[in-house]
Amino acid sequence: MTDIYLGADRATDAEAAAVDEALRDRGVDAVVQPETERLYTSGRSRRLERRHYLLPALHALQNAVGWISPGGINYVAEVLGVPPAEAFGVATFYDLFRTEPPDHDGDTFHVCVDAACQIAGYDDLVASVRASGGHVHLGSCLGQCERAPALFVQGTGGRPDYVPADAEPFELPQAGDPSLRLLRRIGVADPESLESYRAHGGYEALQRAGEMGADAVLEAVAASGLSGRGGAAFPTGVKWRAVAAETGRPKHVVANCDESEPGTFKDRIVMEHDPFAVIESMTIAGLATGAQNGWIYIRGEYPLATARLQGAIDAARAAGLLGPDAAGTGHDFDIAIWRGAGAYICGEETALFNSLEGFRGEPRNKPPFPTTHGLFGEPTAINNPETLLNVLDIILDGPDDYRTRGTERSPGTKLLCLSGQVGRPGLYEVPFGTTLGELLELAGGVAGTGEFQAVLMGGAAGSFVGPDSLDLPLTLEDTRAAGTTLGSGVVMAFDSSVDMTDVVVRIAEFFRDESCGQCVPCRVGAVRQHETLVQMQKRGSLSPSRRALIDEMAEVMVDASICGLGHTAASAVRSALSLGLIASAPS
Amino acid sequence: MTGAATMTETAVTITVDGQPVEVAEGSTIHAACVQAGIDTPTLCWAENLTPVNVCRVCVVELEGSRALVPSCSRPAEEGMVVQTDTPRVRHSRRMVLEFLGSGVDLSQAEDLHDWMEAYGADPDRYSDEEHPVERVDEPVKVQDELYIRDYSKCVLCYKCVEACGDDAQHTFAIAVAGRGFDARISTEFDVTLPDSACVYCGNCVGVCPTGALQFKTEYDLREVGEWRPEDQTVTRTVCSYCGVGCNLELHVQDERIVKVTSPSDHSVTSGHLCIKGRFGWQYVHGE
Amino acid sequence: MFGAGGGTSSYAEVEEADVVLLWGSNAREAHPIFFHHVLKGLGNGSRMYAIDPRRTSSAKFADRWLGLSVGTDIALANAMGREIISAGLHNPEFIAHATEGFEAYAAHVESCTLDWAEEQTGVPAEAIREMAHAYATADKAQILWTLGITEHHNAVDNVVSLCNLALLTGHVGRWGSGLCPLRGQNNVQGGGDMGAIPNKFPGFQDVDDDAVRAKFEAAWGVELNGVPGKHLTLMFEAMEAGELRACYVIGENPADSEANIGHARKLLAGLDILVVQDIFMTRTAEMADVVLPASVAWAESEGTVTSSERRVQRVRPAVPPPGQARHDIDIIGELARRLGADWGHPSAEELWDEMRALSPMHTGMSWERLDASGGIQWPCPAEDHPGSEFLHGWLWADDLDGRDPAPFSIVHHAGPPEELTDEFPLRLTTGRALDSYNTGVQSGGYASPIRYGDAIDVNPADAAELGIADGERVLVSSPRGSVEMDVRVQPDIPAGLTFTTFHFPELVDTNVLTNDEWDPRSGTSEFKAASIRISKLEPEPAPA
């Protein structure tokens, strides 16, 4: 709702065409409609209906000309009714968008500098890309830690984004293991074929859910004890029931496919190799909660997963498995894909909503919670793909069978992302309760020097554990009791040769880079924490007063930040200090 | 005729520092603190703006809540037990003030000075000579004769963005751009204000708590050391332009108007003005 | 039609309205802080229609902009009325209870079909129909207007055509629904309240009402003239007729602000004596025989002003008046003393108390209450009365509070008297810009970064046809004269229409062009509709 003021800059033909195409594909017309010279239709509701197309429009500009220019912003602003200053504020929030003219022709080669790629030596990769004339952009985790160092190529001039490693043949380390549940179709069913998915049991769960009805589905999910696999471990049944209880407003199911926690790649592999399962389980969530709108918010660095999901949606829709009366369940449900643009914080669910809605990906204060005030302020069930996948077995085999795996308080299996110095990095599925040592053994043990120094559990937001934790059962309750976390399933191993100070300083820098900047404790705290560690690194020691300062800063970040990013920004650092992995005493 | 439908208000009772406080349903914890006479620091909160709860200086301890909660935005619910002066609360408030002071110039954020003293905030302890910390250090933007922007004083409280945007003016000339410590209040591509959508209502200046946005009259006087709030009178009157009836507060020093504001509790303006009311007073002095 | 002149509603009501008709008003620029209340309403989900020949900055916030031809407001309003009746969306209970003359009105508008209105106004019939239905079916609806309605030769007809719509639907006299003219000056409402209207005493009491006059005569101890006086336009007619030879002008700049300004200046110059009391040496003051320097009312004096929502508020001195400038009360008191009537030296408060003793609608507003509050809305008949958020609640009272029902009025569409011709083929309308005000004597005092001066806005198609470019200086002529102006090519103005402000008479004498046809009932001139032509300037002769 605004009288949009545009400066003098105008879009080039290429920019306008790219935006037009992106919006036309989504059926979006301009907010201001001149019906005759004397009658214009516009207004607030038309603006509200269009705001969430900002992110796709910015992607279109970036992809077309390699940056988001003043003329391009003005064009988008006029079409969508978004003030240019706000559109600029959104564009500058994301790593994949540039708001200055590129100083190079061609694509941008994003290289990850986070822990797994750090120890795998991203320097060599950078050198080889540069040697072949590619423009390198160093940044945060790209979600390919099992094949570090990671590279993601951002296309320009209309060329698509791609990941060179996606061309390599894929094999699951546990391929053929009959105990696999969530991963059993991966590498077996053709991810691009609905028929193949069906031939491997696909869409039986939705069929079954339709017969059971929403209440029975909710009951089964609650009885299974399933909890969220993104890190917070909130009971899925409670969440779904809360959404189901909301009436009178549109409701949403959102798949949080923005996994960006350094060390995490599980959802990527699921989406790339079992995309129909994500679609089917979202449809069940829609049926159970009464939500008709499904949204996949996927990180921008996952082009293959995006393409496979889109293919699955298109095939499902063509087969009547999405859309009105989806799969004959009597429930209308459809799914749209929104691409993120490079911001760790957008994995936080409320930041994700803001990002999808076309605003800066800044987390919201909670309460209110997404179940009542989620996407567009409406009731929303938001889950990640791993969590969703569990629902298929719960429906098919029943909650009692589901509970035969795992422990009483952590039922089921868990996907774990093994990276760093292990023999066979990759995605693993084990029942909850498997010990850390057993898991590492399954993954081929500690590689490199063979001498185990530490494991980063749960990613940058998690914590380090040492060799004395090999007997730790991997359950929610045991990891919590041990003062660590499963988080998003990261298990990153470091052998004795790694300089952990480098790793920890980079983790601190990661939070400094990825803090959205909204709240003071995190915006400034993440910077001061990083600075303190850099001082430590330069001096080679940490004075008692600086050690105390780290704790003081951690305390305010934990206590007073808006979201989980601030709450966990000091966690790995403090664990590394207390394990003596870094500057344990002044030298 | 008084026809405004008065809703029957439900009251809720919460305990603040051991003292029961009854407030209308929908009121915030902060409102309950005010009612109980408990002074609570705020920075990003203002009565005429939607709470954004980003500064976190107003946090309090809420029984049953793992983290502290922002009192400015958290609605009071029946039976809540709130503590406003625990070591955790004091620590967080102190650290927030310290963090801010370590990164930007708070010399003109006069409202914060007492709080910094009360909580023992020492913004200088983060840096030493060898390792200066990163600060926001940018030249003052003087782009016209009406107001200036000095982002080295900006605490990113979002108030100006809200006042320019859908809390009042709906001009949207400025927004937060960038991310993390590099986030700044900015026009699109940092174009100058005259090249932006700005219509010079000055409502951003009116809500700025730190002097990052300043009327040019005030800035010029400060530059020559002649800004003397203690010698100023504030007179409430009505704008001389259109017939809306906006109340103005004329800040007068040495018999000259040096600044114009509006009371935020006035039903006509809610504290917001237009360019004429805010800046159109020079003719009084025959210029 | 309802008695005392003033907006029926409070600003806060527009925040809750379901439908808002913003008619002939660019409130975004002319009443920016009122527009904040409109914006709050839009945020709360209200639907807004902007009815204006130009797609103004206000209209850009609207759900629909209806760009009617200049001066076709009555055609549009009557067609809305017809549509509401024929669709059965009028409010028969309210009409029967509170109004009279409905049948005649219905018969009168019967011929005002949507198709006819489309022909007259240029607005598609579908949009008129949709607006009529939205207005009629809304729970709460507001009609807001400004000079786009009143600066016409048929200003009063325009206003009552809108009042008819409120009577038809019951959108008046209750919280949230109403009719609001937005006042252009900070005390134009207060001037009326205080009796600065040719036929009224303070409190809108008629001078030709014997009982009223007796009350004032008793209070003041003098005999009062019961013949209504002349409004400004009639005064100029009287000057022309030689009947009015002396003029005392207080705080007005007619030598710049009148339509057909050349003519007005000639008449002022021909007066026997012209006295001007002002804070500026305006063009009118320059013509005066005597200039009385006054103090700035809102920053150098005690007093009150009344806003567009009838809110009486205090103004207070913040700085001393410069030089020999004196307070208006002092000047008038001193003048009275020289004329033989010693009124002493009353304070603003004493004058206020005298006034409120005589004006029932102000009686409850003690100086103390005004001082303590953010203002009180009239009527406020007693000191324990809170003031009135809206007017005409009596329309809904069981017995209409003993009043006569509100009458429908029969008004006919009549376009601008100055028709477009081959010689003057373009329509010129005038209005305000955000950062400026009237003839610029106040707003010229500060350095606005968004000021562009008085340019003439021209549709791109017209500009192309005329072969003129954005920024080009052109000659603009009307039947009354010519001025040079810069062109702003503006897509927001329909073809055939042009627009300019009037804030910089020293740069562009806009009112040389405007039409001084006026409404016999309001005295307002047709600033909104002149016919003009735009011609390219002769190229400068090449330097020798």
Tokens of B212: 């990052």
pLDDT beyond 70 at B8: no
Can you give the pLDDT at residue C540?
Answer: 62
In a domain, B114, yes or no: no
Residue type, C369: R
CB contacts < 8 A, A to C, total: 59
Q: Are C120 and C112 in contact (CB under 8 A)?
A: no
Containing H/E element for C16? Answer: none
How many residues are listed for chain C in this entry?
544
Tokens of A499: 């300089």
Please name every residue paired with A108 in a beta bridge, in sequence order, or none if there are none: A135, A154
In a domain, B80, yes or no: no
Q: Spell out the SS3 assignment of A301-313.
A: CCHHHHHHHHHHH
Class of residue A201 by CB neighbours under 10 A (exposed 0-12, middle 13-18, buried 19+): middle
- The sign of the CA dihedral A475, A481, A482, A484 is positive
How many residues are listed for chain A in this entry?
587
- Closest by alpha carbon to B96, among B152, B47, B138, B54? B54
Domain hosting B270: range is 141-285
Flag whether residue B228 sits within 8 Å of chain A, measured between CB atoms.
Answer: no
In a domain, B2, yes or no: no
Q: What is the pLDDT of residues A469-522, one digit of tens each?
A: 999 999 999 999 999 999 999 999 999 999 999 999 999 999 999 999 999 999
Flag whether residue A468 sits within 8 Å of chain C, measured between CB atoms.
Answer: no
**B181·A517 Cβ contact <8 A:** yes
Q: Which residues in chain B are closer than 8 Å to C314, comparing Cβ atoms?
A: 236-238
Flag whether residue A39 sits within 8 Å of chain C, measured between CB atoms.
Answer: yes
pLDDT beyond 50 at C320: yes
Q: What is the pLDDT of residues C141-173, one digit of tens each?
A: 999 999 888 888 888 899 999 999 999 999 999
**C319·B255 Cβ contact <8 A:** yes
Flag whether residue A555 sits within 8 Å of chain B, measured between CB atoms.
Answer: yes
Q: What is the pLDDT of residues C75-118, one digit of tens each?
A: 999 999 999 999 999 999 999 999 999 999 999 999 999 999 99
Can you give the pLDDT at residue A584?
Answer: 56
pLDDT beyond 60 at C56: yes
Q: Are A491 and A455 in contact (CB under 8 A)?
A: yes
Minimal C-alpha gap between C18 and chain A (Å): 13
Flag whether residue A517 sits within 8 Å of chain B, measured between CB atoms.
Answer: yes
Can you give the pLDDT at residue C424?
Answer: 94
Higher model confidence: residue C60 or residue B287? C60
Tokens of C301: 């004096």
- Please tell me if the domain spanning C188-307+311-377 has the same topology as the one spanning C426-536: no
- Closest by alpha carbon to B154, among A508, A559, A524, A565? A524
C367 Cβ contact list (under 8 Å, min separation 6): C349, C352, C353
8-state DSSP, C539: P
- What CATH number corresponds to the domain at position B264? 3.30.70.20
Report the residue from A2, A38, A44 with minimal CB separation from C494. A38
* Residue of chain A nearest B76, judged by CA positions: A367
Task: Tell me what the mean pLDDT of segment B228-250 comes to.
Answer: 95
Class of residue C164 by CB neighbours under 10 A (exposed 0-12, middle 13-18, buried 19+): buried
Q: Which residues in chain A are closer than 8 Å to B60, comparing Cβ atoms?
A: none
Can you give the pLDDT at residue C501?
Answer: 87
Minimal C-alpha gap between B135 and chain A (Å): 10
pLDDT band at C510 (very low <50, low <70, confident <90, very high): confident
In a domain, B236, yes or no: yes
Minimal C-alpha gap between B79 and chain C (Å): 31
Can you give the pLDDT at residue B6?
Answer: 44
Q: Which residues in chain A are closer than 8 Å to C57, comparing Cβ atoms?
A: 3
Structural domains for chain A = 13-91 (no CATH), 108-166 (3.40.30.10), 202-402 (3.40.50.11540), 413-495 (3.10.20.600), 500-578 (1.20.1440.230)
Residue type, A52: H
Please name every residue paired with C377 in a beta bridge, in sequence order, or none if there are none: C311
pLDDT beyond 60 at B3: no
A372 Cβ contact list (under 8 Å, min separation 6): A242, A246, A379
Distance from C-alpha of A146 to C-alpha of A269, rounded to nearest angstrom: 11
Can you give the pLDDT at residue B7?
Answer: 47
* Residue of chain B nearest C377, judged by CA positions: B1
* Residue of chain B nearest A99, judged by CA positions: B189
- Chains sharing 3 or more CB pairs under 8 A with chain B: A, C
**C447·B145 Cβ contact <8 A:** yes
Q: How many CA atoms lie within 13 A of A323 on its CB side?
A: 9
Strand extents, DSSP E, A423-462: 426-431, 452-457
Q: Are A564 and A348 in contact (CB under 8 A)?
A: yes
Tokens of C61: 């916030």
Distance from C-alpha of C464 to C-alpha of C487, rounded to nearest angstrom: 12
Tokens of C191: 């001037």
User: What percent of chain B is modeled with pLDDT above 70?
Assistant: 97
Can you give the pLDDT at residue C450?
Answer: 87
8-state DSSP, B280: T
Flag whether residue A213 sits within 8 Å of chain B, measured between CB atoms.
Answer: no
**B2·C449 Cβ contact <8 A:** no
User: What percent of chain C is modeled with pLDDT above 70?
Assistant: 98
**C444·B283 Cβ contact <8 A:** yes
**B1·C32 Cβ contact <8 A:** no
In a domain, B152, yes or no: yes
Strand duo C178-181 + C200-201: pairing: unpaired
Hey, is C537 helix, strand or coil? coil
Task: Tell me what the mean pLDDT of segment B98-120 comes to.
Answer: 96
Please name every residue paired with C346 in a beta bridge, in sequence order, or none if there are none: none
Q: Which residues in chain C are closer than 8 Å to B243, comparing Cβ atoms?
A: 31, 182-189, 307-308
Distance from C-alpha of C313 to C-alpha of B246, rounded to nearest angstrom: 9
Minimal C-alpha gap between C464 and chain A (Å): 17
Hey, is B5 helix, strand or coil? coil
Minimal C-alpha gap between A94 and chain C (Å): 29
Report the residue from C33, C61, C188 with minimal CB separation from B274. C33
pLDDT beyond 60 at C485: yes
Distance from C-alpha of C166 to C-alpha of C169, rounded to nearest angstrom: 5
**B197·A84 Cβ contact <8 A:** yes
Number of domains in chain B: 1
Report the residue from C60, C124, C495 with minimal CB separation from A39. C124
CA distances from C474 to A205, C346, C486, C502 (A): 76, 54, 6, 17
CB contacts < 8 A, B to C, total: 194
Q: Which residues in chain C are closer than 8 Å to B280, comparing Cβ atoms?
A: 435, 437, 442-443, 445-446
C11-181 belongs to which CATH class? alpha beta
In a domain, B89, yes or no: no
Strand extents, DSSP E, C67-201: 99-100, 141-145, 178-181, 200-201
Report the residue from A2, A4, A39 with minimal CB separation from C64. A39
DSSP A380-393: EEEE-HHHHHHHHH
Can you give the pLDDT at residue A292?
Answer: 98
Please name every residue paired with C185 in a beta bridge, in sequence order, or none if there are none: none
Number of CB atoms found within 10 A of residue C397's CB: 14
Q: How many CA atoms lie within 13 A of A123 on its CB side?
A: 2
Scanning the structure block, which residue is given the tokens 């049991």?
A201
Minimal C-alpha gap between A454 and chain B (Å): 29
- Closest by alpha carbon to C164, among C85, C71, C65? C85
Task: Tell me what the mean pLDDT of segment C319-333 comes to.
Answer: 92
CA-based diameter of chain C, in Å?
85
**A1·C61 Cβ contact <8 A:** yes
Number of CB atoms found within 10 A of residue B64's CB: 7
Distance from C-alpha of A306 to C-alpha of A257, rounded to nearest angstrom: 10
- Closest by alpha carbon to A464, among A475, A474, A453, A473? A453
Q: Are C493 and C458 in contact (CB under 8 A)?
A: yes
End-to-end alpha carbon distance in chain C:
68
Scanning the structure block, which residue is given the tokens 């109004």?
C99
* Residue of chain B nearest C376, judged by CA positions: B267
pLDDT beyond 90 at C432: no
- Walking along chain A (587 residues) 10 residues at a time, the average pLDDT comes out as 79 97 94 94 95 98 97 97 97 97 93 96 96 96 97 96 96 95 96 98 97 97 96 94 97 97 97 98 98 98 98 98 95 98 97 98 95 98 98 97 96 97 97 97 93 95 96 96 95 96 97 97 98 93 93 97 96 95 62
**C444·B169 Cβ contact <8 A:** no
Q: Are C245 and C271 in contact (CB under 8 A)?
A: yes
Q: Helix, strand, coil shares of chain B as percentages rounded to 5?
A: 30, 20, 55
CATH number, domain C426-536, options 3.40.50.150, 1.10.3720.10, 2.40.40.20, 3.40.50.300? 2.40.40.20
Number of CB atoms found within 10 A of residue A368's CB: 13
8-state DSSP, A323: B
Distance from C-alpha of C417 to C-alpha of C118, rounded to nearest angstrom: 20
A180 Cβ contact list (under 8 Å, min separation 6): A174, A186, A429
In a domain, B122, yes or no: no
Class of residue C543 by CB neighbours under 10 A (exposed 0-12, middle 13-18, buried 19+): exposed
A40 Cβ contact list (under 8 Å, min separation 6): A32, A33, A34, C55, C59, C64, C65, C67
Report the residue from B126, B173, B180 with minimal CB separation from A523. B180
pLDDT beyond 50 at B38: yes
Q: Which of residues 116-145 of B touch C (CB under 8 A)?
A: 143-145
H-type helices in A445-489, by residue range? 476-481
Please state the domain extents for chain C: 11-181, 188-307+311-377, 426-536
pLDDT band at C1 (very low <50, low <70, confident <90, very high): very low
Kindly report whether the peptide bond that precedes residue A235 is cis, defined as omega within 30 degrees of 0.
no
Report the residue from C280, C308, C388 with minimal CB separation from B245. C308
Q: Helix, strand, coil shares of chain C as percentages rounded to 5?
A: 35, 20, 45
Distance from C-alpha of A350 to C-alpha of A371, rounded to nearest angstrom: 11
Can you give the pLDDT at residue A1?
Answer: 43
**pTM tops 0.90:** yes
H-type helices in A319-348, by residue range? none
* Residue of chain B nearest C281, judged by CA positions: B286
* Residue of chain B nearest A2, judged by CA positions: B170
Q: What is the dihedral of CA B35, B36, B41, B47, to 10 degrees?
A: -10
Q: Which of residues 46-105 of A touch B (CB under 8 A)?
A: 70, 73, 83-89, 92-93, 99
**C55·A43 Cβ contact <8 A:** no
Residue of C28, C65, C490, C493 to mutate, testing the A interface (most A Cβ within 10 Å of its Cβ): C65
ipTM at complex level: 0.95
Distance from C-alpha of C235 to C-alpha of C251, rounded to nearest angstrom: 16
Report the residue from B238, B241, B270 with minimal CB separation from C313. B238
Tokens of A476: 């929610």
Can you name the CATH fold of C188-307+311-377?
A: Rossmann fold (3.40.50)
Residue of A10, A42, A45, A47 to mutate, testing the C interface (most C Cβ within 10 Å of its Cβ): A42
Task: Tell me what the mean pLDDT of segment C301-325 comes to.
Answer: 94
pLDDT beyond 80 at B228: yes
| Arithmetic mean of pLDDT over chain C | 92
Class of residue C495 by CB neighbours under 10 A (exposed 0-12, middle 13-18, buried 19+): middle
Minimal C-alpha gap between C240 and chain B (Å): 31
**C57·A3 Cβ contact <8 A:** yes
Report the residue from C184, C300, C389 with minimal CB separation from B4. C389
Q: Which of residues 322-351 of A touch B (CB under 8 A)?
A: 343
Q: Which residues in chain C are closer than 8 Å to A40, comparing Cβ atoms?
A: 55, 59, 64-65, 67
